[in-house]
Amino acid sequence: MERTLRSMTLDEKIGQMIMPGWDVGAFRNVDSDEFAKVRRNIVDFHVGGLHVYGGDPTPVALAINEMQKLAKVPLLISDNFEGGVGYVLFGATRLPLAMAIGATGDEHLAYEAAKLTAEEGRAIGVNVNFYPVADVQNNPANPIINIRSFGEDPATVSRFVRAYIRGAQENGQIATAKHFPGHGDVATDSHLEMPVLNVAPQRLESVELPPFRAAVEEGVQAFMSAHIWLPQIEPEKGLPSTLSKNVLTGILRDELGYRGVVFTDAMTMRGVSANFTNEDATLRAVEAGADIILIPPSVEDSFRAIKSAVESGRISEKRIDDSVRRILRTKAHFDLEKSRFADVNRLMTLLGTREHRDFAQQIEDQAITLVRDERHALPLRASPDLRVVQINVLDSRNGWREGAVGRLAAAELPKRFPRAVTVQVDDQSTATELDLIRKLAQTGDALVVNGFIRVAAYKGSIDLTNAEVALVRDLAAMKKPFVFTVFGSPYVLTHIPDLPSYIVTYDTSPLAEASMIKAITGEIEFKGKLPISLPGLYPVGHGLTAK
């Protein structure tokens, strides 16, 4: 590693500290403009890695191999496999999100989920997973962390973070603890603007930092910073943690003793880009202690900014060497020189196997949580005579990661209730359409209402519309069995506290829909416990069983 460092030019060292995004789905062949752009980043700017987006596994693996061939030093290839490789790439295994795993209470499932993800990810050529989320989710209004966190209790989150890191790194994939120093207690999405976490150092030490400290103790190989401002830690107004030496060096390096690689979060996010130029943000991140500038708006501008800063003396070459040494050490630790290429021949026998899919469903089946059943409506026993009206209520019509939600539930319910019908409403439904739903509900013997609340970047909110809330209340007021299940953000009950029924799945995937159908019909037991509190209603650990 030291020999490699000594042999590198200044340009090559600077390049190791830059990691652009790459839309692999746009890659077609070596003559394409997209290939030429990525090739230039590797050959001319010597980038140390690529963050990949989208596509199908086999073309992605082939494209990654082509890029690895161009690199003098093995590339870090990263992705956000928060819900398994299938969360990003079609055909691989889609796993439940962190809060569902937290609801099981079994950290061994976190270990196994990480192991499975590492095996599938490395087969494709992805050696860095930007996961686990080590944020403590303690703000019900948080629109971006939410179900991506293992829960609200710092000790519990720490346990699951440790297990996930072990599962990933023991199976050859670099784990990343994010978003340091903690993104859980904010009500703003840093993709849209910079959140502010105005807490005292003592509070940070007791709530936000324990999972990150646990990650350091577990030997995590990477951290990712958060684009949030901590006024009581960083006196410069509006300076996000990504650019704060007090945070990245003072807390992470000096206080927590972390010696590994630090990634910035994506520098295109408005938590940074709205207030800082690309060049200024790049230099301030390096000065703060970041090692890798992730997805800068311009690779060339970031590269030239760092080089000019070294040549002018603003940043020492020793500072560059410190980062590159950490990067090379991590690459060597995972033997990327020998394992940089994807084994395409393994994909058909490894990705999305029945064993992997069954494991994913097992997690969701153990996670689904019965919070309330005041009318004792559960279970709804399968019957050829019962007319069940199922109503899917979506907080937004568009933007669903896995296509139209509610399809599996619509297909599965009639297998138990042949007279069942399913309808859908969303944020664009008219008052006339909502009234028609009310009339349809009156014809049913039982109502199954499913709220889908998407937690996603650049969305900014996690609520049903006022019209949808009014509809749900009207449906609940009808004198008949009523079952309400929330898919996604678990906090709907805090907005509609008078619901007689409440079930939480912690995800919006087909896995969650399958668990819901089985649980409400008594085919599986409700085993999950709330990993978060519903303020004023239910504490962490609450969960009922329907017999």
DSSP string, 526-547: -----SS-BTTTB-TT--B---
Cβ atoms 364, 507 nearer than 8 A: yes
CA atoms within 13 A on the CB side of 427: 13
Residue 265 designated active-site: yes
Crossing angle of helices 466-477 and 431-442, rounded to 10°: 20
Angle at 147 between CA 145 and CA 148, to 5 degrees: 55
According to DSSP H, which parts of 218-266 are helical?
A: 245
Q: Give the Cα separation of 405 and 512 in Å (integer).
A: 10
Tell me the two tokens of residue 96: 């439940």
Q: Are strands 369-373 and 501-504 parallel, antiparallel or unpaired?
A: antiparallel
How distant is the alpha carbon of residue 175 from its chain centre?
13
| CA distance to 361, 414, 428, 517, 538, per residue, from 408 (Å) | 14, 11, 22, 9, 30
Of 51, 179, 183, 191, which residue is the catalytic one?
191
Provide CB contacts within 8 A for 254, sequence distance 6+: none
Please give the Cα distance from 36 to 38 (Å, whole number).
Answer: 6
Q: Is 258 left (phi over 0), alpha (psi -120 to 50) or beta?
A: beta
How far apart CA 354 and CA 364 sit, in angstroms, is 15
On the question of a cis peptide bond just before residue 181, with omega within 30 degrees of 0, the verdict is yes
Please identify which of the residues 153, 265, 291, 365 carries the catalytic annotation.
265
DSSP of 22-89: EEGGG---TTSHHHHHHHHHHHTS--SEEEEE---HHHHHHHHHHHHHH-SSPPEEEE--BTBGGGTS
Kindly list the distances between the CA atom of residue 168 and the CA atoms of 172, 252, 256, in Å, as whole numbers in the listed order: 7, 22, 22
**Distance from the Cα of residue 170 to its chain's centroid:** 21
Among all residues, which ones are annotated catalytic?
Answer: 191, 265
